[in-house]
Amino acid sequence: MTAADVAVTAGGPNEFGYHDYALGEFRFSRDEYFAYIGWPTGRHVMSVDAFLRALQRDVAWEFFYGIVNFDGVLGTMNHYGTVDLFAGRYNDAYRKAELDHVETVETTVIRETFKAMLADWTNEGFDPFASPEETGSAFGAKHGDNIAAITRHRVTAARMVSLPGDEPLRDDGNGHPVNRMFADVIQDQPDIHAEPGFADEIGSFNLFAYLSRSPVTWNPSVVSVCRESLYCPTTEEYILPIIHGNDRAEWFVQLSDEIIWDVEDRDTGAKRAKVIMKAGDVAAMPSDIRHQGYSPKRSMLLVWENASPKIPELISSGQFPTQPVEF
């Protein structure tokens, strides 16, 4: 199916000007402050700004690796072709009470429905990727839209940012001023001294300068690729708007400032660890957890992913350990 073939199931608009949406037996609606989610055995409510920040990432990341929890109840699990939309599935209390619900949906259908909902429910002036200090309000009756912000280009280098034909560097001229919190980041670029004949085979760029000019938060972008090894740095401020449930291990390298991570059991939500990462710290997040980060100042984080499609199965069948390193 292509996007054009997908019929999004929507009704309304309601008295606040917003349409409601259906995916299988799930129903989504919003009013001035809240998003409401219903399914046959329950219903749920979230502040609409938090809902839109999570929805934005789920759409932009094509459902990411493993689980994107919008909060402790609602979320998606990526099966790379289909997506499980769930309520309470990874919540011990909902499971024990048998109130959880899952719909397995073709990726195209959930993507087009989520895109339509995001476009309809995001008002003029609200940018779900921006930090709270750098955006207007998500609230109120429907007024305008912010299509440019919600469909912005996602950086995914084929080899490496700055190489010919690949993702360009950022500068003032292409709409990427230095962020207010990174005013002290040195903006020079490395000198390259290639051996004769090798000038076309070597590239380098200043990653700190590149990140200092990121307009978005909590949005890993692929800046370099070595087979299935992806460097996905990101700039963080306030709270990661999703709770990520891993289907593989991830390495974190804290490049500047500090992030506090809440780490929970992936399947039950039971608390497992509080990890405080300061500049220079490195952590391996195991594949059986979920995590959410808090960044008091805008910080730079390198997320290092192995994108191999074989990994989830190797882990769930026990052939790979859940943690990538033993101490």
Q: For the segment 123-142, give every residue that binds ligand PHB (CB under 6 A).
A: none
Which residue, 18 or 129, has its beta carbon nearer to ligand PHB?
129
If binding is defined by CB under 6 A, does position 66 make contact with ligand PHB?
no
Q: Which does 234 bind (CB under 5 to 8 A by kind): Fe ion, ligand PHB, none?
A: ligand PHB
* 248, interface contact from Fe ion, ligand PHB, none, CB < 5-8 Å by kind: none
Please identify which residue in 303, 311, 312, 315 interacts with ligand PHB, judged by CB under 6 A: 303
Q: Name the one residue in this structure whose structure tokens are 């289909």.
A: 82
- The minimum distance between CB 29 and ligand PHB, in angstroms, equals 27
Dig out the tokens for 89 from the structure: 């599935």
- For ligand PHB (CB under 6 A), the number of binding residues is 10
For the bound state, the minimum distance from the C-beta of residue 290 to ligand PHB, rounded and expressed in Å, comes to 8
Give yes or no for residue 234 binding ligand PHB (CB under 6 A).
Answer: yes
Residue type, 176: H
The residue nearest ligand PHB at its CB is 244
User: Between residues 35 and 240, which has the closer beta carbon with respect to ligand PHB?
Assistant: 240
Task: Tell me which residues touch Fe ion (CB under 5 A).
Answer: 244, 250
Q: Is 264 in the site for ligand PHB (CB under 6 A)?
A: no
266 binds ligand PHB (CB under 6 A): no
Within residues 190-219, the interface with ligand PHB by CB under 6 A covers 218-219
Nearer to ligand PHB, 100 or 236 (CB): 236
Among all chains, which residue has been given the structure tokens 């779900």? 128
Binding track, positions 78-107, relative to ligand PHB; x by CB under 6 A: ------------------------------
Contact residues: ligand PHB, CB under 6 A: 218-220, 234, 236, 240, 244, 250, 301, 303
